[in-house]
């Protein structure tokens, strides 16, 4: 923890949290008594769209404000004190992001988000004579389109009956033609959790590399890339209670060292002449130009906030809410649920005879925000046999009142469409 902001343990609505011992500290504003109250954008609003983007706790908002208003300077360039301090803060953010997933700071690249991270790997990883990538039927478009654009042939692993990636099928499909196996650690539609360690073993059995899309996993699961044995791990900041425009790509150092620069410019060079240039080692090699400084600072605050609550507590909290939500929706005639019962933080559903967009619009009138559409997973919609679903997704600030409001809203949907 930051020595400038000493903390003492407390307990907030059943979740452990660290409350500032310093008057006016940014961890919990004076007078706050629970997790939900730390989110100024939530209040009495029933926000159930955290899988799309998370609301921001006051600690993150304060960190970003201070980064621009009190502490701002460029990084990696200035010799004056504030620049040195900001550089140290920026690199501390890198160390925190690496620590969050069990990696090393020199293996953690800041990107604009997980989408850019996956594109970076798809374009810059040497194919070494292997021209195929193994994906699954539930992948987000950001883990499909980059491989297509980079010229890979795609093989698709089917799903089990309950919506998990079928790793038995993957084991039978992977070959020495596959350069990469790229899978979602947690599905953004079904919430199904991948057996990531087994996926790594399957990929490595033929010499392929494993990339995990961790966008939905990083905000709610304890991730340890070393224990998993993956080769790349991508996640975004804005789903982790941090700002938009910042994300991370972790890669094993020996693999990153084989990859050429992603973009050219300042900060990533060793020596430049008009005849040619040489480049710094990773991660600097992949971070051309002035970075999203305040984004990194905000991400660091978000990581410390999450760690203060503990990912184990967040996951347990969300798991209980998912179970409560699925039970409540299952009791409503005409509601179809998708995905496994043990989904992580996500419940996708449809109301019979009602387009999900209509469902979401009526729910919005009831003060409930859910996502409706194909969720950037159109191939999965084809597998499910629907054009779209409605999706409720939970966060640390969610509680049973959100589920009660969702149920009341769905009752209203059914009343309107039964007329």
pLDDT in tens, the chain (419 residues): 333 332 223 323 333 333 333 333 333 332 224 899 999 999 999 999 999 999 999 999 999 999 999 999 999 988 999 999 999 999 999 999 999 999 999 999 999 999 999 999 999 999 999 999 999 999 999 999 999 999 999 999 999 999 999 999 999 999 999 999 999 999 999 999 999 999 999 999 999 999 999 999 999 999 999 999 999 999 999 999 999 999 999 999 999 999 999 999 999 999 999 999 999 999 999 999 999 999 999 999 999 999 999 999 999 999 999 999 999 999 999 999 999 999 999 999 999 999 999 999 999 999 999 999 999 999 999 999 999 999 999 999 999 999 999 999 999 999 999 86
Q: Are residues 374 and 264 in the same domain?
A: no
Q: Are residues 301 and 316 in the same domain?
A: no
Q: Are residues 210 and 225 in the same domain?
A: yes
Q: Are residues 246 and 390 in the same domain?
A: no
* Residue 173 forms part of a structural domain: yes
Last residue of a domain, one of 306, 324, 355: 306
Which two structure tokens, joined as six digits, stand for 249? 């790509």
Q: Are residues 228 and 294 in the same domain?
A: yes
By CB atoms closer than 10 A (0-12, 13-18, 19+), residue 267 is middle
CATH classification of the domain holding 249: 3.40.640.10
What is the CB neighbour count within 10 angstroms for residue 323?
14
Q: Are residues 283 and 367 in the same domain?
A: no
Q: Are residues 101 and 210 in the same domain?
A: yes
SS3 254: helix
Distance CA(283)–CA(281), nearest Å, equals 6
* Residue 209 forms part of a structural domain: yes
By CB atoms closer than 10 A (0-12, 13-18, 19+), residue 337 is middle
Residues 6+ positions from 382 with CB-CB distance below 8 Å: none
For the chain, give the number of residues: 419
Q: Are residues 267 and 367 in the same domain?
A: no
Q: What's the longest Cα–Cα distance across the chain?
A: 75
* Residue 180 forms part of a structural domain: yes
CATH classification of the domain holding 355: 3.90.1150.10
Last residue of a domain, one of 248, 275, 306: 306
Long-range contacts of 86-92 (CB under 8 A, 24+ apart): 86/293, 89/296, 89/297, 89/300, 90/291, 90/293, 90/296, 90/297, 92/300
* Residue 25 forms part of a structural domain: no
Find the domain containing 155 and state its range.
81-306
* Residue 26 forms part of a structural domain: no
* Given 215, 230, 325, 376, the catalytic residue: 376
Q: Are residues 168 and 250 in the same domain?
A: yes
Q: Are residues 246 and 362 in the same domain?
A: no
* Residue 389 forms part of a structural domain: yes
* Residue 407 forms part of a structural domain: yes
Among candidate residues 200, 234, 214, the one with its CA nearest the CA of residue 120: 234
Q: Cβ(293)–Cβ(74) under 8 Å?
A: yes
* Residue 265 forms part of a structural domain: yes
Which sign, positive or negative, has the C-alpha torsion 172, 120, 106, 245? negative
Last residue of a domain, one of 306, 332, 361: 306
Which two structure tokens, joined as six digits, stand for 317? 């909290």
Q: Cβ(45)–Cβ(52) under 8 Å?
A: no
376 catalytic per annotation = yes
What is the model's pTM?
A: 0.92
Q: Are residues 110 and 209 in the same domain?
A: yes
Number of domains in the chain: 2
Q: Are residues 154 and 280 in the same domain?
A: yes
């Amino acid at each position: 923890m930051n020595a400038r902001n000493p903390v003492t343990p407390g307990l907030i609505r059943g979740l452990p949290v660290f409350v500032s011992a310093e008057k006016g500290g940014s961890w919990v504003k004076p007078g706050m008594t629970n997790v939900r109250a730390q989110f100024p954008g939530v209040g009495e609003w029933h926000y159930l769209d955290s899988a799309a983007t998370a609301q921001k706790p006051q600690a993150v908002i304060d960190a970003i404000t201070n980064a621009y208003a009190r502490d701002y300077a460029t990084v990696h360039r200035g010799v004056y004190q504030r620049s040195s301090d900001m550089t140290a803060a920026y690199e501390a953010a890198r160390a925190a992001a690496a620590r969050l997933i069990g990696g090393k700071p020199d293996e953690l690249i800041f990107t604009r988000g997980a989408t850019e991270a996956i594109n970076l790997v798809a374009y810059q990883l040497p194919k070494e004579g292997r021209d195929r990538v193994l994906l699954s039927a539930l992948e987000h478009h950001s883990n499909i389109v980059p491989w297509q654009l980079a010229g890979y042939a795609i093989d698709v692993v089917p799903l089990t009956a309950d919506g998990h990636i079928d790793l038995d099928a993957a084991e039978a499909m992977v070959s020495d033609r596959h350069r990469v196996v790229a899978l979602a650690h947690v599905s953004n539609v079904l919430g199904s959790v991948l057996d990531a360690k087994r996926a790594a073993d399957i990929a490595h059995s033929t010499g392929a590399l494993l990339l995990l899309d961790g966008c939905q996993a990083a905000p709610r699961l304890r991730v340890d890339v070393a224990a998993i044995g993956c080769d790349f791990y991508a996640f975004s900041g804005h789903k982790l209670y941090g700002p938009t425009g910042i994300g991370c790509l972790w890669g094993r150092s020996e693999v990153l060292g084989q990859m050429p620069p992603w973009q050219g410019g300042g900060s990533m060079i060793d020596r430049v002449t008009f005849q040619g240039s040489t480049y710094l080692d990773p991660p600097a090699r992949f971070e051309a130009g002035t970075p999203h400084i305040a984004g990194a600072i905000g991400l660091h605050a978000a990581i410390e906030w999450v760690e203060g609550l503990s990912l184990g507590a967040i996951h347990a909290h969300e798991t209980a809410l998912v179970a409560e939500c699925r039970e409540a929706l299952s009791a409503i005639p005409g509601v179809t649920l998708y995905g496994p019962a043990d989904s992580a933080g996500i419940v996708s559903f449809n109301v019979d005879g009602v387009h999900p967009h209509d469902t979401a619009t009526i729910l919005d009138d009831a003060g409930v925000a859910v996502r409706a559409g194909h969720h950037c997973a159109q191939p999965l919609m084809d597998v499910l046999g629907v054009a779209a679903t409605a999706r409720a997704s939970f966060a640390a600030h969610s509680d049973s009142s959100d589920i009660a409001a969702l149920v009341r809203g769905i009752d209203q949907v059914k009343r309107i469409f039964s007329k």
